[in-house]
Structures are given as structure tokens and as C-alpha cells.
């Protein structure tokens, strides 16, 4: 069987790092990208340069993204799967108190960079009848206080995924939007600007989704028979569910 290649963004932590482990264990080659080379290099050391290629760059830097693509070793050049996972939430304040800079960073990372990498890889994904897995969020479907722009970016990811599917009709390329709920990774540490206590408090006693749970979901989707496409999948921990609407009274 020929060895397949996945490009997993956000591979230095959380879902992405767990997905690297899952795909390497399953016999795939993986391009692991993220800003922190010190987190990517150990993946290469552990699995070997023939199995994992580390590409350290900021996804918001389109020139760096193109350079990383152009510099792929020949063994990693034929990409079968793009996992658009790199992303972040910044801040929990309501819109009227939020930072515009943080809003722009979320849009640049979660939306602009995601479409840029997708656009760059589409020709070869079509040529190889490959697949795209976009990591969206339940925040794109359920409003919550402080979700403002983060939820907006994820609603974009979900809808972009569905529109991609429509445009790619007949090409054999599969597209999936995965929409996880509360998962324990570095996500809340990043969101709160490094507040470990706030992160610990959010997850305490809740048995959240783990990074491995989402890595297994990506693996399952990528390895389904080629005539099947999971369009969207929403995953929550049993401990999380939707709550009702709010009413303001004078």
C-alpha cells in the first residue's frame, strides 16, 4: 500500500499534536506545522525525518506559508489530506469590551490563513482525490457570552467547508467540518493570556473531550471508504449541552 501524506496545521499542541501521533501510528507521513519549532522538532526526533516533516511558520504570513510549501522534501510533496486545525480564541469579554487587535488576530488565523492554505493546496488535492478536514467549533453554531468574533470565525469555517464540498462536486475530494465542544488542550490557556487557574477551573470535574478523542475522529473520517463523506460532525463531552435563551426585563 502506498504511504499517504497529511498536512496538519497547529501540530505543536492539542488536537494537532495528537493527530500527528495518530496518523504516524497509522503509517502516514505527516507535515507538522505551527509557529513553535521547539514543539515540532521532537516529533521529527521521535518518528524520524522520513515520517514527520516539521514546518515552522506563522499561518498569517502568506509568504512564509508558500515558502514552506515550496520547500517540502519530495517524499512529502504529494499531499492527500489537509487538516486545517491551527486556530485560537482570544479573550472572553463581551463585544463592547473586547480588543479589536484580538478580533483581527482571530480572523487572520482562523479564517484568512485557513482559506489561504486551502487555496494553495486545492490543485494537488484535486489531482490526488484527497480530503480536507477543517476544525470548526460548536462556537460557530451556539452563541455564548464572549463568543463574539471567535464564534463568527468558526461559523465561517463550517459554511466554507459546506460550500467547498459543493464546488468540489465530482472531483472526488472529500470535505468535513468537525465541530468540537469543550476540549482540554492549551486552548483556554491561550484564550485567557496564560491564566492556568482559569483553564484548570473550566475543565475541573467536567471530563472534557481530549485531544486524542478529536485525533481519533479525524483519523476515522480520513480512513472511511472513498465513496463516503462526513459533511459535518458535532462532538461534545457528555457533561456539556446547550442551555436556553436569555431575557432582559426592565
Binding site for ligand 8X3 (CB under 6 A): 137-139, 147, 181-182
Cell 476544525 appears where?
135
Measured from the CB atom, is 64 or 88 closer to ligand 8X3? 88
Is 237 a binding residue for ligand NDP by CB under 6 A? The answer is no
Strand spans (E) along the chain: 5-9, 29-34, 52-56, 81-84, 131-135, 174-180, 232-235
**CB of 41 or CB of 229, closer to ligand NDP:** 41
Q: Which residue(s) pair with 233 in the sheet?
A: 178
Phi-psi region of 133 (alpha: psi -120 to 50; beta: other; left: phi over 0): beta
> Of these partners, ligand 8X3, ligand NDP, none, which one is at the site of residue 199 (CB under 5 to 8 Å by kind)?
none
**In the complex, which residue's CB is closest to ligand NDP?**
14
Residue 172 has, within 13 A of its CA and on its CB side, a CA count of 12
CB-nearer residue toward ligand NDP: 14 or 130: 14
CB of 246 to ligand NDP, least distance (A): 22
CA distance linking residue 93 with residue 147, whole number of Å: 8
Residue 176 as a binder of ligand NDP (CB under 6 A): the answer is no
The answer to whether residue 203 is catalytic is no
Q: Which of 142, 144, 150, 203 is catalytic?
A: 150
**Stretches 30-38, 71-79, 125-133, 192-200: which one binds ligand NDP (CB under 6 A)?**
30-38
The yes or no reply on residue 140 touching ligand NDP (CB under 6 A) is no
Q: Which does 60 bind (CB under 5 to 8 A by kind): ligand NDP, ligand 8X3, none?
A: ligand NDP
Using the rule CB under 6 A, is 135 a contact of ligand NDP?
A: yes
3 state SS of 33 = strand
Percent composition of the chain: helix, strand, coil (DSSP 3-state, to 5): 45, 15, 40
129 is an interface residue for ligand NDP by CB under 6 A: no
Asked if 60 is part of the footprint of ligand NDP (rule: CB under 6 A), the reply reads yes
Q: Which residue is at the shortest CB distance from ligand 8X3?
A: 137
**Distance between CA atoms of 39 and 54, rounded to whole angstroms?**
9
16/147 with CB nearer ligand 8X3: 147
Tell me, letter by letter, the H, E, C secondary structure of 53-65. EEEECCCCCHHHH
For 14-43, letters b (16+ CB in 10 Å) and e give: bbbbbbbbbbbeeebbbbbbbbeeebbeeb
Contact flag: residue 14 with ligand NDP (CB under 6 A)? yes
Q: Give the gyration radius of the chain's Cα atoms.
A: 18
Question: Any idea which residues carry the catalytic annotation?
Answer: 150
The site for ligand NDP (CB under 6 A) is made up of 10-16, 34-36, 39, 58-60, 85-88, 109, 135, 137, 180, 182-183, 185-187, 190
Amino acid at each position: 500500500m502506498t504511504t499517504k501524506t497529511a498536512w496538519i496545521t497547529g501540530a505543536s499542541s492539542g488536537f494537532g499534536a495528537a493527530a500527528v501521533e495518530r496518523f504516524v501510528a497509522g503509517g502516514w507521513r505527516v507535515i507538522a506545522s505551527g509557529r513553535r519549532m521547539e514543539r515540532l522538532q521532537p516529533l521529527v526526533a521521535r518518528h524520524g525525518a522520513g515520517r514527520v516533516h516539521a514546518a515552522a511558520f506563522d499561518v498569517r504570513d502568506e509568504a512564509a506559508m508558500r515558502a514552506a510549501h515550496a520547500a517540502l522534501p519530495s517524499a512529502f510533496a504529494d499531499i492527500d489530506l489537509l487538516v486545517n486545525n491551527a486556530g485560537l480564541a482570544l479573550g472572553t469579554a463581551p463585544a463592547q469590551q473586547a480588543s479589536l487587535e484580538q478580533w483581527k488576530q482571530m480572523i487572520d488565523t482562523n479564517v484568512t490563513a485557513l482559506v489561504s492554505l486551502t487555496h494553495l493546496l486545492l490543485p494537488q488535492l484535486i489531482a490526488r482525490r484527497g480530503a480536507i478536514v477543517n476544525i470548526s467549533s460548536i462556537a460557530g453554531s451556539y452563541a455564548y457570552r464572549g463568543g463574539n468574533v471567535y464564534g463568527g470565525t468558526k461559523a465561517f469555517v463550517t459554511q466554507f467547508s459546506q460550500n467547498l464540498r459543493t464546488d468540489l462536486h465530482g472531483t472526488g475530494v472529500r470535505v468535513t467540518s468537525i465541530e468540537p465542544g469543550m476540549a482540554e488542550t492549551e486552548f483556554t490557556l491561550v484564550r485567557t493570556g496564560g491564566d492556568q487557574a482559569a483553564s484548570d477551573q473550566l475543565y475541573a470535574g467536567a471530563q472534557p473531550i481530549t485531544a486524542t478523542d478529536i485525533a481519533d475522529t479525524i483519523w476515522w473520517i480520513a480512513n472511511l471508504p472513498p465513496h463516503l463523506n462526513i459533511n459535518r460532525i458535532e462532538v461534545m463531552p457528555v457533561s456539556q449541552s446547550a442551555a436556553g435563551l436569555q431575557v432582559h426585563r426592565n
